Amino acid sequence: MTAEPLIQLEGITKTFGNGAAAFQALKGIDLTIERGDFVAIMGPSGSGKSTTMNILGCLDVPTGGVFRFRGVEVQKLDRDQRSLLRRRYLGFVFQGFNLLARTTALENVELPLLYRGENKTQRRESALRALDQVGLVPWASHSPSELSGGQQQRVAIARALVTQPDVLLADEPTGNLDSERSVEIMLLLQRLNGEGITVLMVTHEEEMAAYAKTIVRFRDGQVERIEHSATALAQASGPA
């Protein structure tokens, strides 16, 4: 008996606006994502990739179609249920890091647990484990202004990992980094994927997409094609 896919999109549509002003951003997306995959979502501006990512992250709901996450039909959940799903199973990494400037790396990583109501000792232990996953324990007491761009993105990844999510959603995670730091972050994402986390990443950079196992290319609100990356650097040597 085959395992149920982690994520299934069937005939997903998304329309913004009404009447003559209506714009159909997604025109029937079919996509299956298995547990443990590393998926790069690519496409030109306006192709639908960001809209799809928002739906996958339970930040928006489709106009039509079926979205299953771990077998649950997400489009049937209410806002509170989607929020719970998001907090329990998903971690988010953004291009702009989104760190609080006047707090330490450790305190930034603790934030999701603070919202959960965990006590200080639990938060501290979990945050240190997450910082250890990204190799930043020695910088735990540093503020974002004292860290490089690559280190700040590592803190942001640790913050996404601290809740132990099933899925890491990364929106242009290397967009604000130079080439060397970009490779550093991609090797880290690749390692985390190897440890069992499913990674979904939006990127416009072919070199970054090459680290993924699967590349999904969007055009005009539809999936243009899916590639199982022959050039993926899945066996890249060296630590992240």
d(CA 90, CA 83): 10
d(CA 136, CA 165): 19
pLDDT of 56-107, one tens digit each?
A: 999 999 999 999 999 999 999 999 999 999 989 999 998 888 899 999 999 9
d(CA 196, CA 65): 29
Sign of CA dihedral 19, 22, 28, 33: negative
CA atoms within 13 A on the CB side of 50: 8
Query: How confident is the prediction for the chain on average, in pLDDT?
Result: 91
- Give the relative orientation of helices 149-161 and 105-116 as an angle to the nearest 10 degrees: 20
Closest alpha carbon to 222 in 11, 53, 59: 11
CB-count burial class (<10 Å; 0-12, 13-18, 19+) for 90: buried
Mean pLDDT, range 150-174, rounded to an integer: 94
Residue 182 contacts residue 9 (beta carbons within 8 Å): no
Phi-psi region of 234 (alpha: psi -120 to 50; beta: other; left: phi over 0): alpha
Residue 108 contacts residue 144 (beta carbons within 8 Å): yes
Tally Cβ neighbours within 10 Å of residue 141. 10
What pLDDT is attached to residue 234? 43
Q: Is pLDDT above 70 for 232?
A: no
pLDDT band at 193 (very low <50, low <70, confident <90, very high): very high
d(CA 121, CA 127): 10
pLDDT band at 2 (very low <50, low <70, confident <90, very high): low
What pLDDT is attached to residue 12? 97
Residue at 121: amino acid letter: T
Closest alpha carbon to 198 in 74, 33, 63: 33
Domains of the chain: 7-228 (3.40.50.300)
d(CA 156, CA 111): 11
d(CA 211, CA 229): 8
Q: Which residue has the tokens 């993926």?
A: 232
d(CA 2, CA 11): 23
Model pTM score: 0.89
What pLDDT is attached to residue 19? 87
